[in-house]
Amino acid sequence: MLFVIVVIGTVFLAGITFRKIILKGQWEFVIFFAALFFPFYITILSIVYTATRSTLLLTAFQSIKELVIGFAVLSFFIFQRDLARYPFRLITLDWLFVAFYAFAFMFLVLPIGEAELINKVLYFKNMVLMGVFYFFGRNTRFSDDALKQLLHLMLGIGLLAFSFNLVEYAIDTHFQQFTGYALFNEQVNEVVPRGNYGLTWTFETQTLSKRFASFFADPLELAISSLMLFSIALIMYLTTPRERAYPYLILVGVTLGTLMFSSSRSSLAALMVLALYIAFVFKLHKVLVFAGLFVVLFVLYFFYLASEDFQYFVIDTITFQNTSSVGHLLEWTAALESMIASPFGIGLATSGNVGAVDDSLRVGGENQFLVFGVQLGWIGMAMYLLILAISIVYAYRAFSELKNVQEARIAFVATSVKFAMIFPLFTSNAEKFFFVSLISWWMVGYTVHAIHRQRLNATLDEKN
């Protein structure tokens, strides 16, 4: 039954997408495709492979995203009106993206590192997707209705994920037990099932309680995605007339619910930081005071009322003494040692928890900054850090400047998500989570395009 639903749904979505992109030249629809397809990507592959055991059919479903993205890029150039007059008005962020990929391309073509060429190509392809979606954003112009539909669509994904979480919790079983996730991981990704539930250790806490992932790849991807969906729900609530805003407040609670089901400590910490950042953006001084009061109350609770188990759990987490924290620390140490020994990098496909990386060559992998640092050296890591920092600041400034409410919402989500992701980036190879990574990079690009268009129109109005 799951196989039939997946095949019909995927073929239907792919058919609509190819029709709009190829026949109508609406390459921007790739963003709607990404919002609908990426959250279910691993679940789709797991179900398809488990039901058929066909690597050919699996490859066909895997290739859908590359085909859609490739055709979207081609469609942009084919249907671009007067391509000869395409305006190349590049800002610092654009140049940083160009420099970052030019630098990475050098590692691809030069004999640097021990990874096989095919692995380097696959890894570089996944790296390029960040820049491609930023490029899509820099050139997308959606109507207000289309932007609202996109945000509502993503909130619908969050509501569906929460519904799956409730069912998982009610039957005390991971949804991945029904999708063939473990078999897919073992036979395709060569990841042996681990943990008490036959999946991987990431699906359980140190106390053996279940961490749920809904239909996402794992609990961490659900947690990081929940941060983006939380930002969307919150800005929709804050910028909608009160008589029509309450459904968004419910969705704020829904996104927090999915975050709790995922039991991700880094994402929960990111949520606290995100709340402070949002208070700063909106100048909500009462929220800042409340946050300070909450910290004081938590400290008092921790020292005087909390159980010993909870106290040990917090102390072990902070001091990196529990299993998960120790694992992160060991990965960071290995990565830093590699960067000190090889400051200019050891080559592509040598770090990170993605399929293109051979385990025998992998160094580190649970810190996105260090993943790039190991492969591209200190220079590559510095460029990535600059891209992230400038994106946060640029979108923050654009949010207060943009006059169009829908575009301002996109800017808000862009700056909030990129800021909130800093914590998860320290504990995971988070750019591999296509849904939150690529959609948020598109939002950054869209924000840059929107603010430039507004400034250009203002200049033209002054001249007239």
CA 435 to chain centre: 5
429-455: average pLDDT? 92
Confidence of residue 106 (pLDDT cuts 50, 70, 90): very high
Q: 307: helix, coil or strand? A: coil
| Percent of the chain residues topping a pLDDT of 90 | 55
Confidence of residue 390 (pLDDT cuts 50, 70, 90): very high
Q: What angle do CA 20, 21, 26 make, to 5 degrees?
A: 75
Question: Contacts from 337-343 at CB under 8 Å and sequence distance 24+?
Answer: 338/363, 338/364, 338/374, 339/370, 339/373, 339/374, 339/377, 339/378, 339/381, 342/377, 343/377, 343/378
Task: Tell me phi and psi for residue 31, to 5 degrees.
Answer: -70, -40
Q: Count the alpha carbons within 13 Å of 110 in the hemisphere toward its beta carbon.
A: 12
Residue 35: the pLDDT is 96
pLDDT tens digits along 358-381: 777 888 777 899 999 999 999 999
Query: How many beta carbons lie within 10 A of that of residue 406, not counting itself?
Result: 18
Confidence of residue 205 (pLDDT cuts 50, 70, 90): confident
| Whether the predicted pLDDT of 176 surpasses 90 | yes
pLDDT tens digits along 397-429: 999 899 999 999 999 999 999 998 888 888 888
Residue 285: the pLDDT is 65
Residue 312: the pLDDT is 55
Comparing C-alpha atoms, which of 5, 112, 1 is closest to residue 350? 112
| Spatial contact of 130 and 138, defined as CB atoms under 8 Å apart | no
| Percent of the chain residues topping a pLDDT of 70 | 87
Confidence of residue 318 (pLDDT cuts 50, 70, 90): low
Q: What angle do CA 66, 202, 124 make, to 5 degrees?
A: 30
| Spatial contact of 29 and 140, defined as CB atoms under 8 Å apart | no
b/e string for 286-322 if b means 16 or more Cβ within 10 A?
eeeeebeeeeeeeeeeeeeeeeeeeeebeebeeeeeb
195-220: average pLDDT? 85
Residue 323: the pLDDT is 59
| Spatial contact of 127 and 103, defined as CB atoms under 8 Å apart | no
Instruction: Between 393 and 87, name the one with better pLDDT.
Output: 393
Residue 86: the pLDDT is 62
Q: Indicate the pTM of the whole model.
A: 0.91
Q: Which residues 6+ apart lie within 8 Å of 189 measured at CB?
A: 355
Sequence spans of domains, the chain = 1-86, 92-463
Residue 177: the pLDDT is 93
Task: Tell me phi and psi for residue 403, to 5 degrees.
Answer: -90, -25
| Whether the predicted pLDDT of 438 surpasses 70 | yes
Confidence of residue 287 (pLDDT cuts 50, 70, 90): low
Structure tokens at 409: 């919402």
Please report, for the chain, how many H helices and E strands are present, in that order: 19, 0
Residue 297: the pLDDT is 63
Which residue do the tokens 């910028």 mark?
A: 239
| Spatial contact of 224 and 436, defined as CB atoms under 8 Å apart | yes
| Whether the predicted pLDDT of 191 surpasses 60 | yes
Residue 410: the pLDDT is 96
SS3 content of the chain, % helix, strand, coil (to 5): 75, 0, 20
Dist CA 207 CA 201 (whole Å)? 12
Residue 113: the pLDDT is 86
| Whether the predicted pLDDT of 139 surpasses 60 | yes
35-60: average pLDDT? 93
| Spatial contact of 140 and 18, defined as CB atoms under 8 Å apart | no
222-245: average pLDDT? 91
Confidence of residue 301 (pLDDT cuts 50, 70, 90): low
Confidence of residue 319 (pLDDT cuts 50, 70, 90): low
| Whether the predicted pLDDT of 444 surpasses 90 | yes
pLDDT tens digits along 447-459: 999 998 888 777 7
| Whether the predicted pLDDT of 442 surpasses 80 | yes
Structure tokens at 107: 């590692």
| Whether the predicted pLDDT of 71 surpasses 90 | yes
As to burial, measured by CB atoms within 10 angstroms (0-12 exposed, 13-18 middle, 19+ buried), residue 268 is: middle
As to burial, measured by CB atoms within 10 angstroms (0-12 exposed, 13-18 middle, 19+ buried), residue 32 is: buried
| Whether the predicted pLDDT of 282 surpasses 90 | no
pLDDT tens digits along 237-259: 989 998 888 999 999 889 988 98
Q: 362: helix, coil or strand? A: coil
* Helix or strand run (H / E) with residue 408: helix 405-420
pLDDT tens digits along 89-104: 788 999 999 999 999 9
